[in-house]
Chain A
Amino acid sequence: MSQIALHHISKHFKDITALDDVSFTIQNGEFFVLLGPTGAGKTTTLRVIAGLERQSEGDILFDGQSMNGVPPAERDIAFVFQQYSLYPTMSVYDNLAFPLRSPMRRTPEIEIKPRVEKAAELLRIQHLLERKTARLSGGEMQRVSIGRAIVRNPRIFLMDEPLSNLDAKLRESLRVELKHIQKTQTSTTLFVTHDQIEALTMADRIGVLREGKLIQVGTPTDIYDRPATTFVAQLVGTPRINLHKAFRENGTLHVQESTVQLPAPSGSLPAEFMLGIRPEDVLIAPDGALSGEVVLVEPLGVETVIHLRAGAQTFICVVSGISHYRLGDQVRFDVIRERLHYFDSNGQRLAL
């Protein structure tokens, strides 16, 4: 396992800039998740680290050693593709054993067997070992692809949305398994996803990518509690953060076109800004200072999402369990003032 560093990586495809000056470091044993929407450059980052793509500018360092121009085979990495890239004519066992049998590695067969069996056990595919890969289900195929990565001890695991082609149930269980495997093996992992839940649940640290630029790097708590921009604030968290234009007047915050007014925080705020309130920070309370009308109720079982209209703006709040609120109910609510997020007109977080 290694420490992987990217220094000012840029990648251009003809006139498209896929990556723009991206720098970050993945510590030894860390589970690092790159999060971003489609086309943000996540996969390109992975491919550049793997050596499948050559960066236009910048350096890739594995343990401080430059990897520029080193072919993928010599980087000692393991890659799990979004599509299940299995060798079609071989059995599951042979697929798993393949990276070990490579002429450049030449592991003795006696050593291969226990390693394949251990990987199969971790992924619960022991019963499939003799099967041909064409006869596997999608979930089984992806397990085998992950297995092919974990049979050996590469410097880094690169995973390109390995769970996105699976159905919801399977995704959830494999997510838990992956995190468990990563923690027990303390393997350095770079995991790419567009799914914020995967990022928040699995990552030690998250890097948020947008249009080829790395916007924020931090622990899931950092990302969730101190999003650097409105983009990050909206990317993580379901239901989404309430984000409204607001202005300051005589020591009071007014949400535009709304009845919501709050005392202004100490600290310098511009006259106009964006106000972000996480849904769980909106509390329905009989003696709340604010009032609104229930316009939509979404019961999810564990919690209920309630849309409150105050003036022309709608605020989303979450209450636990099934709620008894009905459409048209007038309710009073409060917001947790210490947990408000302020952004300037460019969407940058304002530190108070």
Chain B
Amino acid sequence: MTALTQAAPTQAKQRAQRRHMSDGALVRLFIFPTLIILILWNVFPLFYSLYLSFTRYSVIANRAPEWIGFSNYTAILSRPTFWQSFATTGVYALLSVGLQTVLGFSLAMLLRQKFKGSGFITTLTLIPMMLSPVVVGMFWKLIYNPSYGIFNFLLNPTNPRLATDMLANPVSAMLAVVIVDVWMWTPFVMLLCLSGLNAIPDYLYEAAAIDRASAWFQFRRITLPQVAPLLLIAVLFRTIEAIKAFDLMMGLTGGGPGKSTETVSIALYRLAFSGQFNTGQASALAYIVLIIIICISNVYIRYLNKLRGE
């Protein structure tokens, strides 16, 4: 009994102290857990992998990393297969981002006109974007299946087996992956363009109509400049994602046939995990990709700032 009655006031006192915690202490209390997780999972691996990229090291070998300077970088940059994977990534990024931009912008122009059910249709078109890339890869694999997939049936309804096996031929496999990526991410570009289009005030078009401007002028001088910043952001996001593309290929082709759809990310994955476990070189490759992405982003952002500055 006495212990209890003594405990009660101290608890109350503690509670009172907590209630009087300073703002700074409260801020730290909220920030620290996140900060610790961020350091452990993001900041530390970032710098540790930078260090590893200059060493000979494998995670499965029981040996300490051995400093070898830029050897990993020179090894990667002098190996033709990696240049091949860079080229594959470039082709893939160019094709899919290009198509997404054109299609997304066109769709946005169409959906900009309000009609009955336009809101519903807009929502419907966004669905592919919400799915997981691996799932999308899996079911498009079924769609592309030469014996029972609907894709080949649509190409050649009378005898689907005569149509190309999309995933078996190097050129068509790349095309197949691009089609899926376009299917999945065109809505994203469309959404950003649509919000840009909707923000253009009507009176600009009315002024142009009174000034007898042609439709091309209205598009070129009003629509495009007003949407450009948002369109560019969409393109930037999609380019970064395309350069990192991994899960879609893994689900669809696994990089094949041959190395025809092996992007840098898949090459990186092979180097780091499947069989080779060459952690040092994989880290170096990852940094090369990072530098490329930063360079490309910078070009975009410069251009974006130039657009906004005017």
Residue positions of A touching B, CB distance < 8 A: 50, 52, 71-73, 77-79, 81, 83, 85, 87-90, 98-99, 102-105, 132, 134, 148
Contact status of A88 and B226, CB under 8 A, knowing A79-B206, A81-B206, A83-B201: yes
Whether A73 lies near B212 (C-beta < 8 A) is: yes
Give B205-216 as 1s and 0s: 1 = Cβ < 8 Å from A's Cβ atoms: 011111111100
Whether B212 lies near A85 (C-beta < 8 A) is: no
A241 to chain B minimum Cβ distance, whole angstroms, is: 36
Contacts of B212 in A (CB 8 A): 73, 99, 102-105
Q: Nearest residue in B to A99 (C-beta to C-beta)?
A: B211
Q: Is B203 an interface residue (CB 8 A)?
A: yes
A192 to chain B minimum Cβ distance, whole angstroms, is: 14
Contacts of B209 in A (CB 8 A): 52, 71-73
Interface core residue of B206, B207, B222 (most chain A CB under 10 Å):
B207
Whether A90 lies near B211 (C-beta < 8 A) is: no
Q: Nearest residue in A to B200 (C-beta to C-beta)?
A: A88
A117 to chain B minimum Cβ distance, whole angstroms, is: 19
Q: Is B69 an interface residue (CB 8 A)?
A: no
Q: Is B310 an interface residue (CB 8 A)?
A: yes
Whether A81 lies near B207 (C-beta < 8 A) is: yes
Q: Is B36 an interface residue (CB 8 A)?
A: no
Docked complex Cα distance between A335 and B226 (Å): 60
Contact status of A78 and B210, CB under 8 A, knowing A83-B201, A85-B203, A132-B310: yes
A and B contact pairs by CB, cutoff 8 A, 11 listed: A72-B209, A77-B210, A79-B210, A81-B207, A83-B203, A87-B208, A89-B225, A98-B211, A102-B212, A102-B214, A105-B212
Whether B210 lies near A89 (C-beta < 8 A) is: no
Docked complex Cα distance between A232 and B259 (Å): 83
Contacts of B203 in A (CB 8 A): 81, 83, 85
B225 to chain A minimum Cβ distance, whole angstroms, is: 4
Docked complex Cα distance between A249 and B52 (Å): 107
B52 to chain A minimum Cβ distance, whole angstroms, is: 48
Whether B221 lies near A89 (C-beta < 8 A) is: yes
Docked complex Cα distance between A18 and B169 (Å): 65
Docked complex Cα distance between A2 and B208 (Å): 22
Q: Is B204 an interface residue (CB 8 A)?
A: yes
Give B185-228 as 1s and 0s: 1 = Cβ < 8 Å from A's Cβ atoms: 00000000000000001011011111111100000011001100
Contacts of A52 in B (CB 8 A): 206, 209-210
Whether A72 lies near B310 (C-beta < 8 A) is: no
B221 to chain A minimum Cβ distance, whole angstroms, is: 5
Docked complex Cα distance between A104 and B310 (Å): 29
Residue positions of B touching A, CB distance < 8 A: 201, 203-204, 206-214, 221-222, 225-226, 310
A107 to chain B minimum Cβ distance, whole angstroms, is: 12
Contacts of A98 in B (CB 8 A): 211, 213
Whether A79 lies near B225 (C-beta < 8 A) is: no
Contacts of A78 in B (CB 8 A): 210
Contacts of B213 in A (CB 8 A): 98, 102
Interface core residue of B206, B211, B214, B226 (most chain A CB under 10 Å):
B211
Q: Which 10 A-B pairs have the closest CB atoms?
A: A85-B207, A102-B212, A73-B212, A99-B211, A89-B225, A104-B212, A85-B203, A79-B210, A81-B203, A72-B209
Docked complex Cα distance between A66 and B208 (Å): 23
Known: A87-B221, A87-B222. 17 other contacts (CB 8 A): A50-B206, A50-B210, A52-B209, A78-B210, A81-B203, A83-B201, A85-B206, A88-B222, A88-B226, A89-B221, A102-B212, A102-B213, A103-B214, A104-B212, A132-B310, A134-B310, A148-B211
Whether B310 lies near A89 (C-beta < 8 A) is: yes
Contacts of B222 in A (CB 8 A): 87-88
Contact status of A73 and B221, CB under 8 A, knowing A83-B201, A83-B203, A134-B310: no
Docked complex Cα distance between A99 and B207 (Å): 10
Contacts of A104 in B (CB 8 A): 212
Docked complex Cα distance between A87 and B210 (Å): 13
Contact of B204 among A79, A85, A99, A148 (CB under 8 A): A85
Whether A79 lies near B214 (C-beta < 8 A) is: no
Docked complex Cα distance between A85 and B213 (Å): 14
Docked complex Cα distance between A83 and B202 (Å): 11
Docked complex Cα distance between A71 and B206 (Å): 11
Q: Nearest residue in A to B310 (C-beta to C-beta)?
A: A132
Whether A90 lies near B206 (C-beta < 8 A) is: no
Whether A90 lies near B210 (C-beta < 8 A) is: no
Docked complex Cα distance between A102 and B217 (Å): 9
A255 to chain B minimum Cβ distance, whole angstroms, is: 48
A277 to chain B minimum Cβ distance, whole angstroms, is: 43
Contacts of A88 in B (CB 8 A): 222, 225-226
Docked complex Cα distance between A78 and B212 (Å): 10
Docked complex Cα distance between A90 and B310 (Å): 9
B64 to chain A minimum Cβ distance, whole angstroms, is: 59
